[in-house]
A = this chain, B = another copy of it.
């Protein structure tokens, strides 16, 4: 079998003849950036072939397109090149994936609520049966619990099976763990056992979990992990496509996700010495597709128009039925979906920020591969999801990358066209992340180097603006400043990608505002949710029209409100019951069916926005 040597790791791996370099790298344990799931679309898995290049398959069409001149320098796309003999490759820094480095937005805003968790451990001292009080064990429990909780919902078979033994062994001094009044578990009194719950943000690329001590209603540990589904496609569409191909694929995605959650929760637990059987509840908030994956629900109908969910209800299922490690009676709450891709994460955003209780015009924007926007006030809010794409995550941008170490995250362009930038972790730059892309478009436009249509001015006189291999490009960092030894440039094509993404966000916001009858100047609050916000320059976001034209002081960053909302549902039964209120107040708008949105999208491709022709000229 052919042997592949992988540098700079010194790894050697045998593969079947015909395997791709990506497969070889995966087998050697080296993680390579692969945004598109190995389908030759993203061009992120570039490797330098340092030996045996003739043992590789000839360059594919997508390699010719995506590598251009680099192909001649020995670069190949690992997902395209197939191995037919011994080969040596070098994985350049920008192609390496090191998840641990990722800046985690583990935390987010959650409004203050009255702490009264729906998960409760109740100590009960019950009267033992006698000939004059022959009621069943369950009735005895119901009476005792009713006194404390003001209600009783009958338990399942598991609890009934353990009740008689536990009650008598503990001489009727019991501890009952209940979720919203429903008995999950019956345990001997004085057990000293903890009562924990876990809030999880099911992100497309990142899982964020907060461990909640339900006895106090506080978060005691936070953590995140890469979503292990990344191995099956970085974007959700790729994964849905994969899952749609067979029930086995769907189940595979479900299983790796659940394993990821179990692993993350185990890490949080072990940091505090909490056992798995002390966890009795979960609250999950994620986009519609991620929630479907967790539940093992089909996504093929969700992947194509009209993008239909299997269910929109808030589901409460047995944690064991999902494969989650927890106590025997543990429950898993999955947040409801408003519609289409306005999923449980958007509901959690609203719950965390309390947007649904604003009595003045307010907006929430959660920018991601899909951007969710919620606009409204009082009793009526509108929501929609626009495919902003993964540009802000680094995909489809020449030197795009996530906000990890070495990413240029803030850029200033002077009037002379000269550049100042900062990087994540202060490392030598190796790419450009989302916030810097917005800065670049805004700053280049402000400096007069870019016109309103996003085209570089051919007449500008700065050495940084030049004609590159793929059209006009602006040099953000010279090769000597970088860790990759190449000029980091921002091309006209990159500008186009950023404007496409921006237009999706902007048109969503504008369409919903128009439908709700709000003018931008009426908006009193714009909440930017999600990890994107952390390094975003508000002025620049407003400059390019990403956010509606409001004074900057009306914009604030709420962070990861998806996990924040899930936590709220676990620490406050009152907040949890607001899910119904949110569903009744927030309507879903399907943009795919909206000519208005399409028009707004076209106008939003301009910087900041092309005002539509006046009524008269129509």
Which of the 9-residue segments A307-315, A349-357, A446-454 touches chain B?
Answer: A307-315
Question: Do the beta carbons of A340 and B308 come within 8 Å of each other?
Answer: no
> Contact: B588 with A295, CB < 8 Å?
no
Known: A134-B588, A310-B136. A160 touches B295 (CB 8 A): yes
Interface residues of A in 284-304 (CB under 8 A from B): 295-298, 300-301
Report how far A133 CA is from B312 CA in the complex, Å.
Answer: 14
Contact A136 B307 (CB under 8 A): no
In chain A, positions 111-162 with a C-beta closer than 8 Å to chain B are: 129-139, 154, 156-157, 160-161
Task: Flag if B164 contacts A301 (CB, 8 Å).
Answer: yes
State whether A133 touches B306 (Cβ < 8 A): yes
A301: chain B residues within 8 A (beta carbon): 129, 137, 164, 168
Interface of A is mostly: loop
Q: How many chain A residues touch the partner (CB < 8 A)?
A: 45
What per-residue 1/0 map shows which CB atoms of A373-396 lie under 8 Å from chain B? 000000000000000000000000
| Residue A272 at the chain B interface, CB threshold 8 Å | no
Min distance, Cβ A67 to any Cβ of chain B, angstroms: 39
B residues in contact with A310, CB < 8 Å: 136-138, 160, 163-164
Q: Is A529 an interface residue (CB 8 A)?
A: no
Contacts of A321 in B (CB 8 A): 157
Residues of B within 8 A of A134 (CB): 306-308, 339-340, 588, 590
Cross-chain contact B317 with A138 (CB below 8 angstroms): no
Question: Which among B306, B309, B340 is the interface contact of A130 at CB below 8 angstroms?
Answer: B306
Q: A157-B317, A301-B164 are in contact. Are A308 and B339 (CB under 8 A)?
A: no
Q: How far is the CA of A138 from the CA of B310 in the complex (A)?
A: 6
Q: Is A305 an interface residue (CB 8 A)?
A: yes
Q: Counting CB contacts under 8 A, is A193 at the interface?
A: no
Q: A588 contacts which chain B residues (CB < 8 A)?
A: 134
15 contacts between A and B (CB under 8 A): A129-B301, A131-B305, A131-B590, A134-B307, A134-B308, A134-B340, A136-B308, A137-B311, A138-B312, A157-B315, A160-B295, A160-B310, A161-B297, A163-B298, A164-B300
